[in-house]
Amino acid sequence: MVKAVWNGNVIAQSEQTIVVEGNYYFPPEAVESNFLVESETTSTCPWKGLASYYDIKVGDQVNRDAAWYYPQPKKAAEKIKNYVAFWRGVQIIES
């Protein structure tokens, strides 16, 4: 089981994560979407494609662009389509 935790709240947990470039990608159904707020931020990876971001919001605290996903990844990254990864202080805990 792998968990993504921020400010003491479990944002995602799954036994079905995919590790790419050292980042754990969680299946969409394993993510607590009530903590995610769509961001306008995007970035491009040469082999994965265009990433979209979420802010994480817990109570009054916001962690800007702390989660990302690939809604339309390039062929090489199809297995992580819509899977969500985290950074910026989000703890990844393996148990």
| pTM attached to this predicted model | 0.97
pLDDT score, position 31: 98
Structure tokens at 74: 């390039």
Give the CA angle between residues 89, 76, 18 to the nearest 5°: 40
Q: How confident is the model at residue 89 (pLDDT cuts 50, 70, 90)?
A: very high
Q: Are 75 and 47 in contact (CB under 8 A)?
A: no
Measured CA to CA, the distance from residue 4 to residue 14 in angstroms comes to 9
Domains of the chain by residue range: 2-94
- Give the pLDDT of residue 71: 98
> Is the backbone of residue 66 left (phi > 0), alpha (psi -120 to 50) or beta?
alpha
pLDDT in tens, 8-59: 999 999 999 999 999 999 999 999 999 999 999 999 999 999 999 999 999 9
Which is the CATH superfamily of the domain at 2-94? Domain of unknown function (DUF427) (2.170.150.40)
State mean pLDDT over 49-71: 98
